[in-house]
């Protein structure tokens, strides 16, 4: 599997709320399919399907216990997806910075307007 195909699978696997919730659950420790199915109001076969998608993307693996086959999180593909997104950090930091600058500017303007208003009133001018 190429790096690009791995990213395809990782992002596709993450594009579902149940699969993201399964990863969140596994973040607190490995769990069997039964454990994972409990908090969801969907059938166990449906959970198994989601687990298969996560497994094929390499986001989870199976533990050694032959009976429980507990699933655990595998972080490497998440790290790679994170690295891909990090390349765009300058854009969101840039745009938040622009938003911050705009807010600062608006605050300064507001202060000036208030001051101006008080000065006008102090001179007895109409508002």
Among residues 17 and 45, whose Cβ is nearest to a second copy?
Answer: 17
Q: In whole angstroms, give the CA distance from residue 23 to residue 78.
A: 11
Positions that interact with a second copy (CB under 8 A): 4, 7-12, 14-17, 20, 23-24, 27, 73-76, 78-79, 81-82, 84-89, 91-92, 94-96
Q: In whole angstroms, give the CA distance from residue 111 to residue 121.
A: 15
Task: Return all residues near 11 (Cβ < 8 A) that are at least 6 apart.
Answer: 81
Among residues 83 and 113, whose Cβ is nearest to a second copy?
Answer: 83
Among residues 92 and 111, whose Cβ is nearest to a second copy?
Answer: 92
CB of 29 to a second copy, least distance (A): 12
CB of 33 to a second copy, least distance (A): 21
CB of 88 to a second copy, least distance (A): 5
Among residues 17 and 124, whose Cβ is nearest to a second copy?
Answer: 17
CB of 119 to a second copy, least distance (A): 38
């Amino acid at each position: 599997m190429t790096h690009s195909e791995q990213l395809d699978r990782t992002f596709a696997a993450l594009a579902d709320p149940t699969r993201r919730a399964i990863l969140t659950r596994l973040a607190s420790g490995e769990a069997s399919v039964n454990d994972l199915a409990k908090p969801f109001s969907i059938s166990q076969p449906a959970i198994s399907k989601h687990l298969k998608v996560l497994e094929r993307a390499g986001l989870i693996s199976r533990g050694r216990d032959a009976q429980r086959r507990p699933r655990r999180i595998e972080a490497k593909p998440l790290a790679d997806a994170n690295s891909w997104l990090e390349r765009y950090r300058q854009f969101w930091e840039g745009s938040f910075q622009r938003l911050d600058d705009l807010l600062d500017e608006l605050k300064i303007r507001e202060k000036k307007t208030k001051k101006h208003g008080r000065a006008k009133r102090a001179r007895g001018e109409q508002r």
